[in-house]
Chains A and B, each alone.
Chain A
Amino acid sequence: MAVCVAVIAKENYPLFIKTIPTDNELKFYYTVHTSLDVVEEKISSVGKNTNELRELYLGLLYPTEDYKVYGYVTNTKVKFVIVVESINSSLRDNEIRSMFRKLHNAYVDMVCNPFYTPGENITSQKFENVVMSMMHD
Chain B
Amino acid sequence: MADEVILEYLHMEIISQFYRSCEKSDQDQCIAKLESLGFRIGQSLVERFTKESPRFKDELDTMKFICKDFWNYVYKKQIDNLRTNHQGVYVLQDNKFRFLTQMSNGKQFMEAAPKFLALPCGMIRGALSNLGVNCVVTAEVSAMPACKFQIQIQRA
Interface residues of A (CB under 8 A from B): 10, 43, 46-47, 50, 53-56, 73-77, 104-105, 107-108, 111-112, 114, 118
Contact = CB atoms under 8 A, between A and B. Distances in A.
Across the A-B interface, the 6 shortest Cβ-Cβ residue pairs:
A75-B50, A54-B55, A54-B54, A112-B44, A76-B130, A111-B47
Contacts of B44: 111-112
B48 A112 contact: yes
A10 B56 CA distance: 15
Interface in B54-102: 54-58
Interface in B106-128: none
A70 to B, nearest CB: 16
A104 B132 contact: no
Given A76-B47, A111-B44, A111-B47, A118 B130 contact: yes
Contact of B51 (A10, A73, A108): A108
Contact of A47 (B40, B46, B57, B131): B57
A104 B50 CA distance: 11
Contacts of A105: 51
Contacts of A112: 44, 47-48
27 contacts: A10-B132, A43-B55, A46-B57, A54-B55, A54-B56, A54-B57, A55-B54, A56-B54, A56-B55, A73-B55, A75-B50, A75-B55, A76-B46, A76-B47, A76-B50, A76-B130, A76-B131, A105-B51, A107-B47, A108-B47, A108-B48, A111-B43, A111-B44, A111-B47, A112-B44, A112-B48, A118-B130
B50 A74 contact: yes
A13 to B, nearest CB: 16
Contacts of B40: 114
A46 B55 CA distance: 9
Contacts of A111: 43-44, 47
Contacts of A75: 46, 50, 53, 55-56, 131
A67 B55 CA distance: 27
